């Protein structure tokens, strides 16, 4: 027997809402990697410190897009900013996103400032104008400003850690605070989201860093990838434990809702939950990462294993978002049956739209790195030249 309330025939939060927490998770994770270098001083992350900041920004810029498209009345999207109802977790989105954007732009500007000043002075024509604009009229570079920059970067990166946790913890709270939905309602949800966010962000960085290095035809810093793989394994272990604990304690307590949840994970989303999220996305990469760390392997093979683990984890975290967002809505609130959902290919809420949105961050990434390449070794500026330039610019 399958009974759902009549109004539950259509699933309301579709594929667009699946990719939204996936994207914000990547932002939070990538940012935390950059902070491991900037705040916690982990030197192995230096090759990706700037790289991860740019990645985080590229994804952050895209985060509001699926949400806005999904709204019934997208023309009213700004209302969330202008007349927020603060008892709603969702009303915080605009503010948290905006604060995070400012913070990240500030940090990126400071991190890339010397490069921008350098380009502004050496580039020609339109490019010179762009860089002069990006420099915001500040051309001063000296040992003193460098020290101040570093201190400010550290402060911003430091503030950025709790904000990143806030951004993704809050996304988890949006689901975890819905008592009407037994599959969502758990105080563990923000933590589950946060840990999986970090996991997905580190995995993305490994994959993207290796791919970009290949495209650029440069050597991958294998020690850096190895360090990321170690941290990834740590966070992944934590993710397995929390996500496993979540479902195990439900089984053990066996409250009224367990019967319908049992049916959900054994008859409705069994493949995407057990096979993809847990098996392919967590246990397999754990084994692969462990092998890459513990076994004496050829460096190239080790890198390949870590790269593949990264891809598997990204697939697994996407499945996890699907299982939460869609899985939770499949369960009828009558607890007597399930709705069904399969996304259309075309259309506003279709697979094609999702693919385009997921491709956008990479386009932004290419665009940003075109102007401020995070990998370029730029010659340090002679202080004298800067002073000369200022004299000229001030007339």
Could you tell me if 167 and 28 are in contact, meaning their C-beta atoms sit under 8 angstroms apart? yes
Could you tell me if 173 and 190 are in contact, meaning their C-beta atoms sit under 8 angstroms apart? yes
Among 69, 106, 315, 373, binds another protein (CB under 8 A): 106
Distance CA 389, CA 142 (A): 13
Site for another protein in 316-345 (CB under 8 A): 329, 332-336
Longest C-alpha distance within the chain, in Å?
83
Helix, strand and coil in the chain, % to nearest 5:
75, 0, 25
Among 72, 125, 380, 395, binds another protein (CB under 8 A): 72
* Residue (162 or 244) nearer to another protein, CB: 162
> Which span sits near another protein by CB under 8 A: 40-48, 131-139, 238-246, 258-266?
131-139
Distance CA 31, CA 92 (A): 20
Among 41, 126, 143, 179, binds another protein (CB under 8 A): 179
Distance CA 100, CA 128 (A): 28
Closest CA to 194 of 19, 29, 15: 29
Distance CA 193, CA 176 (A): 10
> Which span sits near another protein by CB under 8 A: 30-38, 83-91, 122-130, 265-273?
83-91
Residue 295 is encoded by which pair of tokens?
């076994």
Total of residues contacting another protein (CB under 8 A): 53
Among 7, 124, 342, 384, binds another protein (CB under 8 A): 7
Among 44, 46, 69, 77, binds another protein (CB under 8 A): 77
> Which span sits near another protein by CB under 8 A: 6-14, 33-41, 199-207, 359-367?
6-14
DSSP state of 13: S
Task: State the sign of the Cα–Cα–Cα–Cα dihedral 331, 92, 172, 167.
Answer: positive
> Which span sits near another protein by CB under 8 A: 70-78, 285-293, 307-315, 381-389?
70-78
Residue 156 is encoded by which pair of tokens?
């911003």
> Which span sits near another protein by CB under 8 A: 43-51, 86-94, 354-362, 369-377?
86-94
Among 87, 124, 342, 384, binds another protein (CB under 8 A): 87
3-class secondary-structure state, position 282? helix
* Residue (302 or 321) nearer to another protein, CB: 321
148 binds another protein (CB under 8 A): yes
**Residue ranges binding another protein (CB under 8 A):** 1, 3-10, 12-13, 67, 70-73, 76-77, 79-80, 83-91, 93, 102, 106, 113, 136-138, 140, 145, 148-149, 152, 174, 177-181, 329, 332-336
């Amino acid at each position: 027997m399958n009974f759902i309330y009549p109004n539950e025939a259509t699933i309301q939060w579709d594929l667009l809402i699946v990719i939204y927490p996936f994207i914000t998770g990547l932002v939070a994770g990538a940012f935390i990697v950059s902070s491991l270098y900037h705040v916690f001083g982990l030197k192995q992350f230096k090759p990706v410190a700037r790289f991860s900041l740019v990645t985080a920004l590229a994804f952050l810029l895209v985060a509001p897009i699926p949400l806005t498209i999904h709204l019934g009345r997208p023309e009213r999207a700004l209302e969330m900013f202008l007349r927020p109802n603060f008892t709603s977790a969702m009303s915080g989105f605009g503010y948290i996103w905006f604060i995070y954007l400012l913070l990240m732009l500030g940090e990126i500007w400071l991190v890339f400032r010397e490069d921008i000043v350098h380009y502004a002075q050496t580039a020609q024509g339109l490019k010179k104008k762009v860089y002069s604009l990006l420099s915001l009229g500040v051309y001063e570079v000296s040992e003193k400003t460098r020290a101040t920059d570093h201190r400010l970067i550290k402060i911003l990166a430091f503030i950025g850690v709790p904000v990143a946790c806030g951004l993704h913890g809050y996304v988890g709270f949006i689901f975890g605070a819905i008592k009407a939905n037994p599959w969502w309602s758990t105080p563990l949800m923000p933590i589950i989201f946060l840990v999986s966010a970090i996991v997905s962000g580190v995995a993305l960085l490994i994959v993207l860093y290796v791919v970009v290095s290949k495209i650029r035809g440069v050597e991958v810093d294998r020690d850096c990838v190895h360090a990321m793989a170690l941290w990834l394994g740590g966070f992944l272990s934590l993710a397995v434990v929390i996500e496993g604990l979540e479902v195990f304690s439900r089984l053990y307590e066996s409250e009224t809702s367990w019967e319908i949840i049992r049916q959900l994970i054994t008859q409705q989303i069994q493949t995407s939950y057990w096979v993809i999220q847990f098996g392919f996305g967590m246990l397999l990469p754990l084994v692969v990462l462990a092998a890459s760390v513990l076994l004496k392997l050829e460096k190239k093979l080790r890198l390949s294993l870590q790269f593949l683990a990264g891809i598997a984890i990204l697939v697994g975290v996407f499945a996890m978002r699907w299982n939460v967002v869609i899985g939770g809505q499949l369960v009828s609130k009558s607890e007597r049956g399930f709705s069904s959902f399969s996304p259309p290919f075309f259309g506003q809420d279709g697979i094609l739209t999702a693919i385009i949105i997921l491709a956008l961050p990479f386009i932004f990434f290419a665009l940003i790195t075109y102007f401020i390449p995070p990998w370029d070794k730029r010659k340090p500026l002679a202080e004298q030249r800067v002073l000369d330039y200022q004299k000229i610019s001030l007339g």
